[in-house]
Structure 1
Amino acid sequence: MKNKLFSALALLTLTGCSVGKYQYSSEAMNRVDMNFTGIPTILGIGTLGSSIPLTADYSLTAAHVARYSVQRVKAYHPYCDLAIIYHKNDLKSLPKFREGAIGEPVKMYGYSFISAMPVESSGVNLALTGIRNDWNKRPCVAMASNAGVVKGMSGGAVYNNDDTIGGVIVGFSTEIRQHKASPAPLKDVSLYIPYRDFKSWLNKSIT
């Protein structure tokens, strides 16, 4: 299916703590790790993000999580909100990545900032969008989805329907505007960096 690229820029996490529906998930504990920082949450435990085990020594996460994480950073992506951190992982097999398509179902896994519990959500890829803030600069492109996201899931995994990883959660937006001639804006979407945006950087950084 032909990709739709929205002309307006997505703004991350402007209001509220979440968008869409999400639920407790024991499976999330098998997919992602909880990341601790020195910044306390409303529960006072300092849990602000999630990360994806990559190898026995490294994990993948959002750059805004890595910056305050207790783990050391190995590499930051040059223009997207991504980072590789040093983290000991007990992996039976290395994760497989694949770029997802517009209209394809996805599942998101991470940890809730509010409850510090593992959570998951389900949805569909809606559109590609430009994304600009302190962590994402041109030419970074994000995928918008209607899967739910709560703060704390940043750095968590987006899985395609064949159990491959399609990207890394970086936040959400209350609205994404389309071209003037296009339909109404998309409301309350989750945003993630798709594999196509970081494939080369990832391979170079861990080999």
Structure 2
Amino acid sequence: MKKIMAIPTSALLTLALAGCSVGQYDYSSEALKRVDMNFTGIPTILGVGALGSSIPITPEYSLTAAHVAKLSVQRVKAYHPYCDLAIIYHKNDIKSLPKFRNSTVGESVKMYGYSFISAMPVESSGVNLAQTGIRNEWNKRPCVAMVSNAGVVKGMSGGAVYNSDETIGGVIVGFTSEIKRHKNSPVPLKDVSLYIPYKNFESWLVSSTS
């Protein structure tokens, strides 16, 4: 999973990065139904290559993080113009198309993906805490990420964020050990996950899959 760096915004200032996971996450048979594992050709100490996660969205396509797609064995159909997102060609056995809905700060979410450490499906639960601009190789202005206290481990990049009504609210892209907030909110947010919310990619998703 690629770690994310931030620039100042009206609400959040900086991100401090550390470790290979944040928060609590657990093995999940439910994750098997909601996301796929994506291998790359990069060797690891496990000898199986690095991995990420992806979300089946049609019988032909899956949605994932761009930094996962770039190294994935699947072909890329489209990259998002400014966020860490991509659509890849992937044969999916899905009976109905998933529904998406943008979630807001304060809403509860669940995250699903695969752990790089165990190569097992995992899930976590949390609440949306804030939004932040993120700028790095994969995220450019005006991309905005949602900050959550749901746990994330490397390998969950490209995995799904579900709202409480079973709609997909976004795509996991990273995590951070700390976010220093606005000067009027001196207490930083600790050990948080980051995902790209649906409102950032709604029109791109429709145009790229139609």
Please report the TM-score for the alignment, with normalisation by the length of structure 2: 0.93
Matched, 1:22 2:25: yes
Matched, 1:152 2:150: no
Determine the C-alpha separation between the residues in 1 that align with 2:67 and 2:14. 19
Instruction: Return 5+ residue gaps in structure 1 as ranges.
Output: none
Aligned residues of 2:10 and 2:182 also touching (Cα < 8 A): no
Matched, 1:179 2:182: yes
Determine the C-alpha separation between the residues in 2 that align with 1:144 and 1:7. 10
Determine the C-alpha separation between the residues in 2 that align with 1:5 and 1:201. 26
Instruction: Return 5+ residue gaps in structure 2 as ranges.
Output: 1-8
Matched, 1:205 2:208: yes
For the aligned residue pairs, the C-alpha RMSD in angstroms reads 1.3
Task: Count matched residues.
Answer: 202
Equivalent pairs: percent with the same residue? 78
Among 46, 66, 70, the alignment partner of 1:43 is: 46
Spell out structure 1 runs of 4+ moving beyond 6 A.
Answer: none
Please report the TM-score for the alignment, with normalisation by the length of structure 1: 0.94
Aligned residues of 1:47 and 1:116 also touching (Cα < 8 A): no
Matched, 1:168 2:174: no
Determine the C-alpha separation between the residues in 2 that align with 1:128 and 1:89. 32
Determine the C-alpha separation between the residues in 2 that align with 1:173 and 1:17. 9
Deviation at 1:6, TM superposition (A): 2.3
Matched, 1:188 2:191: yes
Matched, 1:7 2:23: no
Deviation at 1:95, TM superposition (A): 0.3
> 2:6 is matched with which residue?
none
Determine the C-alpha separation between the residues in 1 that align with 2:97 and 2:28. 22
- Residues 75/124 of structure 1: CA separation in 2 closer, same or farther (3 Å cut): same
Among 138, 162, 187, the alignment partner of 2:141 is: 138
Determine the C-alpha separation between the residues in 2 that align with 1:115 and 1:41. 13
Aligned residues of 1:111 and 1:153 also touching (Cα < 8 A): yes
